[in-house]
Amino acid sequence: MSPHAILDEPVPRDLIAALATFGCIVAPFPNEWKGLRNGDLLGRLEAESISVLITCDRNMRFQHTIGTRPFALVVLPDQRLARLLPISEQISQAIKSAAPGHVVLLNQTGQFDVLAP
């Protein structure tokens, strides 16, 4: 079973269908969360028991302590759908491998590094 994952606000919603073909069930960013600051967003993720946040914000891991949180960050290399679709299988693998407190960084070719707390 795939983790309960959610896209961050700037990540294209069309990525959801591509990830579903690889067995990842991902929810779009909730409309009622739009405009939340990162700290408030992370609090909502915890409150809603979200396992993985898929984001393009490469700085979020430096601005907030992720290692102590009950969710993982999967950080995409780009927010343009045309650049994400070719690596959607690798993105799905990154989501499936993400553990609480970890940050998974993907590059343009889909290779990823898991940064443990």
- The whole-model pTM stands at 0.93
Cα-Cα-Cα-Cα torsion 98, 106, 63, 11, nearest 10 degrees, comes to -90
Q: How much is the average pLDDT of 29-41?
A: 92
Q: For residue 15, give both structure tokens.
A: 């990525």
- For residue 53, give the nearest of 65, 62, 45, 44 by alpha carbon: 45
The burial of 90, by beta-carbon neighbours within 10 Å (0-12 exposed, 13-18 middle, 19 or more buried), is given as middle
Distance CA 114, CA 93 (A): 12
Condensed to tens digits (0 to 9), the pLDDT of residues 42-87 reads 999 999 999 999 999 998 888 888 999 999 999 999 999 999 999 9
- H or E element: which one contains 18? helix 15-20
Whether 43 contacts 90, CB under 8 Å: no
Q: How much is the average pLDDT of 23-38?
A: 93
Q: How much is the average pLDDT of 31-43?
A: 92
Question: What value does the mean pLDDT of the chain take?
Answer: 93
Q: What's the confidence (pLDDT) of residue 47?
A: 92
